[in-house]
Structure 1
Amino acid sequence: MPTTIDFAQVEHVLLAAAHAAAERTLPLFRTPLAIDNKLDAGFDPVTEADRGAESAIRAVIAEAFPDHAIIGEEWGTTGEGRYSWIIDPVDGTRAFISGAPVWGTLIGFAVDGIAVAGLMSQPFVGEDFLASPGRSTYRRGASMQANRTSGQTDLAAARVFTTTPNLFRGEHWGKWEAIEAATRLQRFGMDCYGYALLAAGHADLVIEPALNTYDIAALVPIIREAGGAIACWDGSEPTGGGNVVAAASRELLDKALELIGSVR
């Protein structure tokens, strides 16, 4: 780990940036607001909340670390180098525009392409899931406690989350069917909140295909520092996105990866 990075400062910037984002998102949550569609075919919504929150986050990061790269869902990539900040200002925009408080602001910090610190902030509920090397913590108001996964190792007893099974339609459908059949309980519609709940011990698996780096980078250290494991379906590093599965233990991850890989 580079000795030039002060991770206390990184944590401070993560929290300050999330606070700045909340000042843009909360006034618009559960209000009638204009919704734009990024796609010509299909539906990928974006709102003033997404754009404004990312601008606010970028301003905080740029002031503290002007020489670091920033990768954001709404405004693209600026800068380059070993250190990068990866932003999804409103992960779960569909939830946001539906009034469901399972969206979150994701901010990750990566060194040489590997996320080592990150924050998932849900400002309406008032929860922050924060990680840096050596710790993953849950914060709500004045209370703070360590995140710790359930440690589950048994696939048959696992609670599994995904945003929607429709993500697996087509070539991945058999993989979802195998995971569904092998696990005890399945819950949907969680977006980033599902990964945070896994880190806190309330879920055992999260599986989703076709993630972008800004969908997952912030969550990688939150899960790993809580004792969990996370990888792409081929076992590779997930910070850059891809088909991802997160688990409450390395043993459970290995079992899930073996099952996923067995379905062609």
Structure 2
Amino acid sequence: MDGGMNAADPALRDALRIAAHAAADAAAPETLARFRCGVAVDDKGGTDARPGFDPVTEGDRAAEAAMRSALAGLRPQDAILGEEEGRSPGTSGLEWVLDPIDGTRGFIAGTPVWGTLVAVCPEGGRPCYGIVDQPWTGERFAGGWGEAALRRQGVERSLRTRKVRALSEATVLTTFPEVGTKAEGAAFARVAERCRLTRYGLDCYAYALVACGTADLVIEAGLARYDIAAPMALVEAAGGIVTAWDGGPAQHGGRVVAAGCRAVHDAVLELLAGAGGPG
């Protein structure tokens, strides 16, 4: 199914793009109405991969409901996997992977680096097309089938990752300074100390910056499928590489490294080796 989707006819690709943008459009009013407004927060209690405070807001739930409604109207035959409502089966062999607010902690804190994530994939497969939408700043990053673009204030420009010659020239981004386990944090530190610049707290926006060519690396651990599907499609469409820390497939989450070019990616994998546990 992966190969079939990569060779999809133009009409199907257009239909999927239209549906993806409709889902992002549907989420925006729900998130914006609650951003920097003192929205109530519930604690889901974390996961084995990332224990502790795991927030969810009314904005998360309302945005996902709106996204699902938009997709049901345009693509009722497709499956949907969402962070808040789980999985709804389909019959087409295609699956939408949704995260209504990636970066809920940032959303609660009022930082404008959260985003709405929309991706379409063959069921269980690699993402074909993805959107990282930041409605507060008016930026929509979208990519698939070898093309990536940023649309802002009615203007669209194409995106390409940048190619740096060495890790010492690279900017690396991540969300949490501790990254994950103690071993994972140590592995990240080995990379960070060799990079020119390290920045934290970016959530999905970090991947958009790699696609833009203003940053070179994102390294994270403990991700779910809905965290990575859309960013992965975007970065790869812009010319980058997204894998697990061991170089394997990343579309199901876990430990992920996104790089703007092959040389940096390969250098990073060597430094991340030996973190222990599954890749």
TM-score range, shorter chain: over 0.9
Residues 170-181 of structure 1: matches in 2 within 5 Å? 170-181=182-193
1:140-181 CA deviation, whole Å, 9 max, x = no partner? 021001111112241111100000222234231220121111
Structure 2 counterpart of 1:33, from 27, 39, 53: 39
Structure 2 residue aligned with 1:111: 122
Answer yes or no: is 1:101 the counterpart of 2:112: yes
Structure 2 residue aligned with 1:187: 199
Whole-angstrom distance in 1 between the partners of 2:164 and 2:155: 26
Answer yes or no: is 1:138 the counterpart of 2:150: yes
Structure 2 residue aligned with 1:167: 179
- 4+ residue runs over 6 A deviation: none
In structure 1, runs of 5+ residues without a counterpart are: none
Shift in Å at residue 197 of structure 1?
0.5
Structure 1 residue aligned with 2:134: 122
Whole-angstrom distance in 1 between the partners of 2:54 and 2:130: 25
The more displaced of 101-110 and 130-139 is 130-139
Shift in Å at residue 23 of structure 1?
1.1
Structure 2 residue aligned with 1:64: 74
Structure 2 counterpart of 1:10, from 9, 16, 34: 16
Whole-angstrom distance in 1 between the partners of 2:131 and 2:274: 34
Taking structure 2 as the reference length, the TM-score comes to 0.91
Structure 1 counterpart of 2:60, from 33, 50, 54: 50
Whole-angstrom distance in 1 between the partners of 2:29 and 2:57: 15
Corresponding residue SS for 1:160: strand
Structure 1 residue aligned with 2:29: 23
Whole-angstrom distance in 2 between the partners of 1:120 and 1:47: 19
Whole-angstrom distance in 2 between the partners of 1:166 and 1:181: 14
1:51 is aligned with what amino acid?
Answer: R
1:110-168 CA deviation, whole Å, 9 max, x = no partner? 12411010000000000000112121111002100111111224111110000022223
Whole-angstrom distance in 1 between the partners of 2:242 and 2:27: 27
Whole-angstrom distance in 1 between the partners of 2:19 and 2:242: 25
Shift in Å at residue 236 of structure 1?
1.4
Shift in Å at residue 263 of structure 1?
5.5
Whole-angstrom distance in 2 between the partners of 1:173 and 1:124: 31
Taking structure 1 as the reference length, the TM-score comes to 0.96
Shift in Å at residue 9 of structure 1?
1.4
Whole-angstrom distance in 2 between the partners of 1:223 and 1:157: 19
Corresponding residue SS for 1:182: coil
CA contact (8 A) 2:97 2:226 kept: yes
CA contact (8 A) 2:44 2:53 kept: yes
Summarize the Cα distance change of 1:170–1:80 in structure 2 as closer, same or farther, 3 Å threshold: farther
Residues 195-234 of structure 1: matches in 2 within 5 Å? 195-234=207-246
Question: Superposition RMSD on alpha carbons, in Å?
Answer: 1.5
Answer yes or no: is 1:75 the counterpart of 2:85: yes
Corresponding residue SS for 2:273: helix
Structure 2 residue aligned with 1:237: 249
